């Protein structure tokens, strides 16, 4: 089993409890510490207006779209802005490091015990892809999948163009992230919707893994949200 490098969006100062959990949890699931990268961007409470409006323009038309895809886009919270800037730092690090495939986790992930075995099945699948969703977001599993969470591991084509059902656990090809780096700023949406935009304009190839390999802890009541509002 050869796990890709893992990049975790986790501020070790402000999310110290989550960091302590993850630095034990991820190796316990077979991910070696030397393959784990901790990505830290500016925390929401530290952002200034200049920081925010230097990268975020909620009213600027982009890529032929005059309106935002989400209602949140015109009023992003400090926490959402912090996540966007942390993701931009992730892009910078991934491109600098040069790994062909990378996994991206948010700080509240919980991995199933057979994570690596199921990941191996996905990586051996010959289907082309730029992005694979490793979780299930808010219960959005692909049509036609087996209802059991212990069924055979497969990849599915998403049933619509809003393929980023959540951003807690994502597998990317570096070649796709290179394109995103060039068009990410100025952004207009929260991260999941912004990545939907990026997927469409770059004509990326998305797939969903099912059964899900990762659970978003905040959405399942395991964690309270750590992002300041």
Whole-structure pTM value:
0.94
CATH 3.90.550, applies to 5-216: yes
Burial of 128 (0-12, 13-18, 19+ CB in 10 A): exposed
Best CA proximity match to 7, nearest among 94, 81, 92: 94
What is the pLDDT at residue 222? Answer: 57
Residues 206, 163 contacting (CB under 8 angstroms):
yes
Residues 142, 156 contacting (CB under 8 angstroms):
yes
Best CA proximity match to 227, nearest among 25, 125, 71, 84: 84
pLDDT at 143 over 90: yes
Q: Give tens-digit pLDDT for 178-204.
A: 999 999 999 999 999 999 999 999 999
Q: Give tens-digit pLDDT for 95-105.
A: 999 999 999 99
DSSP state of 73: G
């Amino acid at each position: 089993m050869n796990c890709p490098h893992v990049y975790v969006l986790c501020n070790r100062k402000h999310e110290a409890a989550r960091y302590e959990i993850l630095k034990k949890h991820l190796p316990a699931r077979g991910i070696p510490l030397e393959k784990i990268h901790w990505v830290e961007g500016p925390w929401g409470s530290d952002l200034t207006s200049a920081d925010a409006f230097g990268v975020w323009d909620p009213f600027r038309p982009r890529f032929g779209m005059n309106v935002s895809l989400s209602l949140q886009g015109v009023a992003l919270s400090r926490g959402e802005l912090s996540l966007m800037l942390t993701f931009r730092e992730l892009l910078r690090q991934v491109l600098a490091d040069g790994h062909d495939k990378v996994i991206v986790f948010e700080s509240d992930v919980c991995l199933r015990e057979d994570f690596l075995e199921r990941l191996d099945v996905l990586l051996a699948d010959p289907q082309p892809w730029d992005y694979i969703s490793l979780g299930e977001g808010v219960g959005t599993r692909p049509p036609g999948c087996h209802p059991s969470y212990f069924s055979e591991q497969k990849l599915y084509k998403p049933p619509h163009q809003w393929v980023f059902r959540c951003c807690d656990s994502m597998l990317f090809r570096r070649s796709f992230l290179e394109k995103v780096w060039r068009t990410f700023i100025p952004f207009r949406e929260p991260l999941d919707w912004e990545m939907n935009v990026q997927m469409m304009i770059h004509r990326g190839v998305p797939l969903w893994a099912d059964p899900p390999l990762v659970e978003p802890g905040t959405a399942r009541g395991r964690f309270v949200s750590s992002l300041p509002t």
